[in-house]
Amino acid sequence: MEAAYKGVLTIFLGVGGCLLYYYLSNQFLDKVLYPAKGDNAGRNINRANMIRPWLFLMPAMVALGLYLAYPVVATLWYSVTDRNQGGAFIGLANYQQMMNEPKFWEAMRNNMLWLIIVPAASTAFGLMAAQLTDRIRWGSIAKSLIFMPMAISFVGAAVIFKLIYDTRPADQAQIGIMNAVWLQFEGGVGSWLILRLLPALLMLCGAAISVYTAYGLFNAMHKKGGVILRSIGILVLALIAIAFLSLGVGALTSVHPYGEPQTWLTTPGWNSFLLMVVLIWIQTGFAMVIISAALRGIPEETIEASIVDGANPFQVFFKIKLPQITGTIVVVWTTITLVVLKVFDIVFAMTNGQWETQVLANYMFDKLFRANDWGVGSASAMIIMLLVSPILIWNVYNARKEMK
Amino acid sequence: MATIAGSKSSLTWAVHISVTALVLLWLFPTMGLLVSSFRTSDQISESGWWRALFPTEQNLTLRTADPDDEGVQVQTNGVYVIDGNLFEAGSEATISVWGTSSREIDIYKAGDTAELNDGETITVQENGDYVWSAPTEISGRGQRVFATATTPPEFTLDNYKNVLFSGDSTDSMAKAFFNTLTVTIPATIIPIVIAAFAAYALAWMNFPGRAILVAIVVGLLVVPLQLALIPLLRLHLGIGIGKGYLGVWLAHTGFGLPLAIYLLRNYMVGLPRDIIENARVDGASDFEIFTKIILPLSFPALASFAIFQFLWTWNDLLVAKVFLIDATGETTVMTNQIVELLGTRGGNWEILATAAFVSIAVPLLVFFMMQKYLVRGLLAGSVK
C-alpha cells in the first residue's frame, strides 16, 4: 500500500508540475516579459505571440529530441565504437563481428519470415472478418470479440498460447489443446485428409494466388512500365510460390509421429510459426477494424452499379471493393510491419530465442543486457532502424504531400 | 453487398456460421486461461480446461478413515463398524462403479457390498458414504477404494486469493499490480498534457518551421524504441535519475509523444476555424483559447490517445525492464512478474493463469468500456 501512496503523490507532483509550467510560463510572458499594456502594448503583444508557440512546443520538443532523436545518433555512434577501449572509433568491426555470428543470421531469417507471414496473415484474416461481419446483424459484437486481443499484453498472450502448446508425458492427460487434438489423429483416413490433403491444397491455393498476382504485375508492367519495382515484386512472388509448393509437397510426404505428444515450442522448424500465430491473433482485430471502416466508406453507387451490371458477389468484392481500399490495406500492412519489427515480448516470454526462434529485437536485448556487448547490441538496433527507414521515408513523404 | 441491391443473399447462413467459427477461434485461447484460473492445480493437471465446463468421469483412488485413529471404530452388537464418506466435505462427486483392488476397479456398482478378507465387508454408496464392518477389531491402514466417479464442474476462487492477497512475495501480484498502476497513470497523463499544448501550437499557431516540425513528428512515429535503450539508460544513470519511476515515466512520455501529437494535431486541425477566430476577436489569449475551447472540444481525441497509451504502458515489458526494474526487484511490474513466474513456475498453471488474468483484466475492462474511442483513435492514426 505504501507504493500506492507514493504513486498517488508522484502522480500529483508530475502532472501538477507539467500544468504549472504551462500556466506560469504563459503568465510570465504576458505579465512580466511583454505586458500587454503601457507604451509598447502593441509591440509587446506581437512579440509575446511570436514566442508563445515555442513555449507550447518546448516540453514536447525537448522530450522528442532527447528520447527519440538523440538516441538514433547515439546508437549509431555506439555501434561504431568499442566500449572496452574507452569508446574508441573502430569502424565497422562491431557489424563484422555480428555478421559472423550464426545467431544473428538466424534472427534475420526469422525476422524476414515474420515480416512476410504476420502482416499477410493478419491483413487477410482482418479483411475476411471485416467483410463477413459487416453483413450480419450481430457483426459489431463479433467484431469487438475478435478485436479484444488488442488489449491483451504480449506477455499475457504468451502465457495464453503456452497453455495451448503445453506438453505432458504420453501417459498423462494432455492439458494443451494442441497436443490433445494431435493425439486424436492416429494415421487413418481422417488423418490423411486433414493433415495431408488439406494443407497440401491450402499450399496449392497459396501458390496459385501468388502466381496470379505475379501475372497481374506482369501485365501491369507491360501497360504502365515501372519495370524495376514490378520485376522485384514478381521475383519475390515467384519465390513465395515455390516455397508454397515445396511446403505442399512436404505436407504430402513427411512422416508424422502419430500418438506421441509433441513439444511444439522446442522443435525447430515449426516453432517460429507457432510464435507468429500469437501476433497474428493479436493483430487481426486491428486490421479488421481499419479495413471495415474503409469498406463502409466505399461509395455505394459503385457497388450498386456493378450489381446492376450483373457482377456476382465475388466480382463485386475483388474487382470493385478491393481496388478501392488498396490504400488502407497498405497502411494496415505497414503498421503491422512496424509492430513485427519491434516484436520482443512474445519471443522473450515464450522461448527467449532458443530452439532457432531468435528475432532481431530479442537478439539485441540479449546482446545489450545479458552479454553486455553494447557495440554489437547497438549495431543490431541500427539494423532494425535500417529496416524501418523505408516506411519512415514513405510516411514523411506522404505527410508532406498532405500538408501542401 | 447483395443486400444493397435489395435482395438477401442466399449465403447468409454460411456467413453466420463462418463468423461464429471465427469468433470462437479467437475467443478460445483467452477462455482457456480464464477457465484455468478458476481450477485447482489437481484439476488442471488431470484434464484439459475444455472439459472443466462439463461433468468429468475420473478414476480415483480413495481411502477410508484409519481404523487406528481414536473414535473411528465403533463396536455395536459384536460387530466393529467404521463409517464415513470417501470424499472431502462439500464434494458433489457421484460414484458409478468401484472396486477394492487396483486390478478390478469396476466390479461393484454403487450400493453393492464387497467381501474383504477375514469376513470384513464394505459397502459404498453413490455419494461416497461407506460402511466398513468386521467381526473382529479392524487394524492396519484405511481400506483403499478404487472408484469411477463423475464430478460436476467445480470452480474455486482460491487462486485469486493466493495470487492477490497472500503475502508470498514470489507469487504475489498485489505489489506488481500497484507498481504497474504507478507506472501507468502518470505515463498516460503527462504525455497528454505535453502533446496537447504542442498539438495546439502545430495546428493553430503561425510560426516559421511548422511544416518541418510536423514532418519530424511523423518521422519519429516509427523510430523503434529499441534504439533508445542504451543511450537513455546511460543518460539516466549519468544525470542521477537511475532506474526508477521517474525514468520510466520520462521514457514512456518520450516514446508516446509522437503518436499523441500526431493524433491530437490531426483532430485539432479539423475543429471549426470560426470558433477560434471569434474567441481571438473577443480578446481571448492563446492560453485561454486552448484551455477553454480547444481542450474540451478535443475530448474524443484525448480519450483515444489516453486509451492507447494506457494499454501500451500497462502491457509494456521492455521499457519497464530497462528503465525501472533494478536488482532488488522492488519495483517489478506485472508483465515482468509473469515472465519470472513462467521461469520459476512453468508447470503451475493455476498460478500462471491467474497471474496473467489479473494483468489482463484491467486492459480488457478499459477496452470494452471505451472501445468507441479506441476505434476512433485507430482510424485517425492510420487511415488518411
- Per-residue pLDDT at B60 exceeds 60: yes
For residue B1, what pLDDT is reported? Answer: 44
| Interval B236-246: pLDDT, tens | 888 877 787 88
Task: Select from B4, B186, B222 the Cβ nearest to the Cβ of A304.
Answer: B4
Instruction: Give the integer Cα–Cα distance in Å for A9 and A6.
Output: 5
Task: Select from A63, A281, A349 the Cβ nearest to the Cβ of B194.
Answer: A63
Whether A198 contacts chain B with CB within 8 A: no
| Interval A237-289: pLDDT, tens | 888 888 888 888 877 777 677 767 777 777 777 788 888 899 999 999 888 88
For residue B7, what pLDDT is reported? Answer: 47
For residue B8, what pLDDT is reported? Answer: 53
Q: How far is CA B370 from the centre of its chain?
A: 18
Contact yes or no for B223 and A392 at CB 8 A: yes
| Interval A11-54: pLDDT, tens | 777 778 878 888 888 888 777 777 767 777 777 777 777 788 88
Provide the pLDDT confidence category of residue A214 given band limits of 50, 70 and 90.
confident
Task: Select from A69, A304, A328 the Cβ nearest to the Cβ of B5.
Answer: A304
Contact yes or no for B218 and A161 at CB 8 A: no
Mean of the per-residue pLDDT values of chain B:
80
For residue A2, what pLDDT is reported? Answer: 62
The last residue of a domain, from among B131, B151, B171: B151
| Interval A361-387: pLDDT, tens | 888 888 888 777 788 888 888 888 888
- The residue count of chain B comes to 384
Whether B134 and B87 map to the same domain: the answer is yes
Whether A305 contacts chain B with CB within 8 A: no
For residue B251, what pLDDT is reported? Answer: 87
Whether B125 and B235 map to the same domain: the answer is no
Whether A209 contacts chain B with CB within 8 A: no
Residue B348 lies in a domain: yes
Whether B141 and B235 map to the same domain: the answer is no
3-state SS assignment for residue B129:
strand
Task: Select from A6, A175, A303 the Cβ nearest to the Cβ of B1.
Answer: A303
| Interval B192-244: pLDDT, tens | 888 888 888 888 888 888 888 888 888 888 888 888 888 888 888 888 777 87
Whether B235 and B268 map to the same domain: the answer is yes
Contact yes or no for A403 and B197 at CB 8 A: no
For residue B171, what pLDDT is reported? Answer: 60
For residue A358, what pLDDT is reported? Answer: 85
List chain A domain ranges.
Answer: 2-79, 99-172+265-403, 184-258
Residue B206 lies in a domain: yes
Superfamily of segment(s) A99-172+265-403 = MetI-like (1.10.3720.10)
Which residues have C-beta within 8 Å of that of residue A308, sequence separation ≥ 6?
Answer: B5
Residue B69 lies in a domain: yes
Q: How many CB atoms lie within 10 A of CB B52?
A: 19
Task: Select from B220, B254, B379 the Cβ nearest to the Cβ of A293.
Answer: B379
Whether B116 and B40 map to the same domain: the answer is no
Whether B328 and B366 map to the same domain: the answer is yes
For residue B86, what pLDDT is reported? Answer: 77
Instruction: Give the integer Cα–Cα distance in Å for B381 and B72.
Output: 73
Instruction: Give the integer Cα–Cα distance in Å for A391 and B350.
Output: 43
Domain enclosing residue B23, as ranges: 12-52
* Least confident segment among A146-150, B148-152, B178-182: B148-152
Residue B3 lies in a domain: no
Write out residues 251-270 of A within 8 Å (CB-CB) of B. none
Whether B179 and B94 map to the same domain: the answer is no
Provide the pLDDT confidence category of residue B294 given band limits of 50, 70 and 90.
confident
Contact yes or no for B45 and A172 at CB 8 A: yes
Whether B123 and B224 map to the same domain: the answer is no
Instruction: ipTM value, please give it.
Output: 0.80
- Per-residue pLDDT at A317 exceeds 70: yes
Provide the pLDDT confidence category of residue A6 given band limits of 50, 70 and 90.
low
The last residue of a domain, from among B106, B130, B151: B151
Whether B207 and B88 map to the same domain: the answer is no
For B287-315, what is the mean pLDDT?
A: 86
For B104-128, what is the mean pLDDT?
A: 79
Which residues have C-beta within 8 Å of that of residue A47, sequence separation ≥ 6?
Answer: A34
Provide the pLDDT confidence category of residue B5 given band limits of 50, 70 and 90.
very low
What residues are paired with A181 via a beta bridge?
Answer: none
Q: Which helix (H) or strand (E) holds B97?
A: strand B94-99
Question: Which of A298, A285, A349 shows the shortest CA–CA distance to A328?
Answer: A298
Task: Select from B33, B229, B378 the Cβ nearest to the Cβ of A160.
Answer: B33
Sheet with B94-99, strands from edge to edge, namely B56-63, B144-151, B94-99, B108-109
Size of interface A-B (CB pairs under 8 A): 355
For residue B229, what pLDDT is reported? Answer: 84
For A135-164, what is the mean pLDDT?
A: 86
Contact yes or no for B15 and A69 at CB 8 A: no
Whether B181 and B95 map to the same domain: the answer is no
Range from A127-131, B165-169, B175-179 that averages highest in pLDDT: A127-131
Q: Tell me phi and psi for residue A243, to 5 degrees.
A: -60, -45
For residue A1, what pLDDT is reported? Answer: 56
Q: What is the DSSP string of B136-191?
A: S---SSPPEEEEEEEE-----SHHHHHHHH---TTT--HHHHHHHHHHHHHHHHHH
For position B256, which CATH number holds?
A: 1.10.3720.10
* Interface-testing mutation among A153, A168, A174, A365, with chain B (most B C-beta atoms within 10 A): A153
Instruction: Give the integer Cα–Cα distance in Å for B346 and B371.
Output: 33
Provide the pLDDT confidence category of residue B2 given band limits of 50, 70 and 90.
very low
Instruction: Give the integer Cα–Cα distance in Å for A126 and A283.
Output: 8
For residue B63, what pLDDT is reported? Answer: 79
- Per-residue pLDDT at B3 exceeds 70: no
- Per-residue pLDDT at B93 exceeds 80: no
What is the number of structural domains in chain B? Answer: 3
Residue B1 lies in a domain: no
- Per-residue pLDDT at A64 exceeds 50: yes
- Per-residue pLDDT at B6 exceeds 50: no
Whether B238 and B372 map to the same domain: the answer is yes
For A69-92, what is the mean pLDDT?
A: 80
The last residue of a domain, from among B151, B175, B204: B151
Residue with C-alpha cell 486433414? A194
Instruction: Give the integer Cα–Cα distance in Å for A87 and B157.
Output: 56
Closest A-chain CA to B187: A11
For residue A112, what pLDDT is reported? Answer: 86
The alpha carbon of residue A152 is apart from the nearest alpha carbon of chain B, in Å, by 6
Closest B-chain CA to A340: B224
- C-alpha grid cell, residue B364: 480488457
| Interval A281-308: pLDDT, tens | 999 988 888 888 888 888 888 888 888 8
Whether A1 contacts chain B with CB within 8 A: yes
Residue B6 lies in a domain: no
For residue A289, what pLDDT is reported? Answer: 86
The alpha carbon of residue B171 is apart from the nearest alpha carbon of chain A, in Å, by 15
For B273-278, what is the mean pLDDT?
A: 86
For B261-279, what is the mean pLDDT?
A: 85
- Per-residue pLDDT at B168 exceeds 70: no
Which residues in chain A have their CB less than 8 angstroms from residue B229's CB? Answer: 71, 368, 381
Whether B364 and B321 map to the same domain: the answer is yes
Closest A-chain CA to B252: A67
Question: Which of A332, A300, A317, A394 shows the shortest CA–CA distance to B379?
Answer: A332
Report the half-sphere exposure of A243 (CA within 13 A, side-chain side).
Answer: 11
Which residues in chain A have their CB less than 8 angstroms from residue B295's CB? Answer: none
For residue B264, what pLDDT is reported? Answer: 87
The alpha carbon of residue B271 is apart from the nearest alpha carbon of chain A, in Å, by 16
For A62-67, what is the mean pLDDT?
A: 86
Q: How many CB atoms lie within 10 A of CB A243?
A: 16
- Per-residue pLDDT at A4 exceeds 70: no
Provide the pLDDT confidence category of residue B383 given band limits of 50, 70 and 90.
very low
For residue B384, what pLDDT is reported? Answer: 39
Whether A349 contacts chain B with CB within 8 A: yes
